[in-house]
Amino acid sequence: MIITPKVRGFICLTAHPKGCEQNVVNQINYVKSKGPIEGPKRVLVLGASTGFGLASRITSAFGANAATIGVFFEKPAAEGKPGSPGWYNTAAFEKEAQKAGLYAKSINGDAFSDEIKRTTLDLIKADLGQIDLVIYSLASPRRVHPKTGVIHNSVLKPIGQPFSNKTVDFHTGNVSEVTITPASDEDIANTVAVMGGEDWEMWIDALKAENLLAPGATTVAYSYIGPSLTEAVYRKGTIGRAKDHLEATAFTISDKLKDLNGKAYVSVNKALVTQASSAIPVIPLYISLLYKVMKAKGLHEGTIEQIQRLFQERLYTGGEVAVDEKGRIRVDDWEMRDDVQAEVAALWEKASTESLPEIGDLQGYRTDFFNLFGFEVPGVNYDEDVNELVEVPGLV
Ligand code: NAI
Ligand code: NA
């Protein structure tokens, strides 16, 4: 079939298999161009199909030659109905991994559930024995709690008082004022239940209980901080409470890994266009200004550049892992540079529907958004009839 984008707000209902494949190949080539990493040999990636998780899987496999198991929640392709981007990304990743002689298996299902944890543990036991690195990169709007059965829905709201600021509809370029009503206590608790560290700890507990973590095992989860501009809706909002919890959980997990000489880290990453971040009000305007400034300074990175740098220059340098005063790894260092933030703050004041095309990188935002779904990828012929029924070779 001929597949075209069907956009509904900040989501696209279709995905292009060839475009997703090209994105994955480009990421693999980038990692290879940066040379080998003396890193982990057996890696479990939770949230492995898109965004930072996919980049982590690619860096592990094609940078460190690691065997990878990826867990994700994606829609398989069906006759006349394209699968989700993460489905096609994984199909492409596995095809390339097979070609390179790398072990790669994937599990599609709810990582929050006991059932998917069981399937994953059994697969590790059967195929890899133990794991050296666990990447925790889930981003989800909801979680069914495995013990209580309660459904938690996360929200993106300020805490305490309403928050008003500028936002942009990145499709139309229309800049407007948005007011977000504050969260209730229940909203906060629900967001922490979905995006906080409880499930990360459950995974590590389950792996450790069955002796599936290798000596020196490392686990990393991803967080975000950002500038004061977005603080009310991000770091001091409901999602920020969840990130506080996630960051605190790193210490709890590190204590539990002491006997293995293992360690849990949180890496604070840069703001990027992903399916998760497009849904947050105010953030798309911030990202379009940030992209403009960082590209002009030659500092721009995508998910693969971020994660390749995390592995090569933070986690696997052969020496100590550099962390901030709160024990966090920082690869948002370039985003948070004083000169970058001062320029973004000045542009923010000027941002309007009229000025944005010139002062912001709205085009870069849009392109990245379409790229997430395999559209507007250079070198792909979108007039060509493609087979939407793509299989994931190593699907368990
Ligand atoms: P994403 O939406 O690209 O990836 C989410 C992944 O989680 C996908 O592989 C998806 O299939 C999987 N997933 C979602 N629900 C699942 C479930 N129930 N069971 C199994 N898999 C499930 O998101 P992104 O942006 O890569 O986010 C990953 C982490 O990075 C999050 O913790 C996010 O807060 C963090 N982060 C994101 C930043 C950004 O600007 N996008 C910046 C800094 C941190
Ligand atoms: Na991810």
Alpha-carbon dihedral of residues 58, 170, 279, 74, nearest 10 degrees?
-40
**Residue among 135, 137, 273 to mutate when testing ligand 1 (max atoms within 8 A of CB):** 137
**Type of residue numbered 116:** I
Q: Which atom of ligand 1 is nearest to the CA of 49?
A: 9
Q: Which residue, by CA, sits nearest to atom 29 of ligand 1?
A: 137
Atom number, ligand 1, closest to the C-alpha of residue 54: 9
Confidence (pLDDT) at 274: 84
Q: How far is the CA of 72 from the centre of ligand 2 (A)?
A: 9
Which atom of ligand 1 lies at the shortest distance from residue 53's CA?
26
Determine which residue's CA is closest to atom 31 belonging to ligand 1. 139
Tokens 């977005």 belong to which residue? Answer: 230
Q: Residues lining ligand 2 (ion), CB within 5 A?
A: 47, 51-53, 137
Strand 104-108, strand 42-46: pairing: unpaired
Q: How many residues does the chain have?
A: 396
Ligand 2 centroid–CA 82 distance in Å is 20
- Stated pTM of the model: 0.98
Q: What angle do CA 170, 174, 178 make, to 5 degrees?
A: 90
Q: Tens of pLDDT along the chain (396 residues)?
A: 999 999 988 889 999 999 999 999 999 999 999 999 999 999 999 999 999 999 999 999 999 999 999 999 999 989 999 999 999 999 999 999 999 999 999 999 999 999 999 999 999 999 999 999 999 999 999 999 999 999 999 999 999 999 999 999 988 999 999 999 999 999 999 999 999 999 999 999 999 999 999 999 999 999 999 999 999 999 999 999 999 999 999 999 999 999 999 999 999 999 999 877 888 888 999 999 999 999 999 999 999 999 999 999 999 999 999 999 999 999 999 999 999 999 999 999 999 999 999 999 999 999 999 999 999 999 999 999 999 999 999 999
Q: Whose CA is nearest to atom 38 of ligand 1?
A: 271
At residue 257, the 3 state secondary structure works out as coil
Ligand 1 pocket: which of 11, 27, 50 to mutate (most atoms within 8 A of CB): 50
ipTM: 0.98
Catalytic, out of 88, 222, 234, 316: 234
**Mutation probe of ligand 1 site: the residue of 107, 134, 235, 274 with most atoms within 8 A of C-beta:** 274
**Catalytic residue at 291?**
no
Q: Which residue has a Cα nearest atom 28 of ligand 1?
A: 137
pLDDT of residue 10: 84
Eight-state DSSP code of residue 314: I
Helix (H, G, I), strand (E, B) or coil at 302: coil
d(CA 396, CA 378) in angstroms, rounded, equals: 32
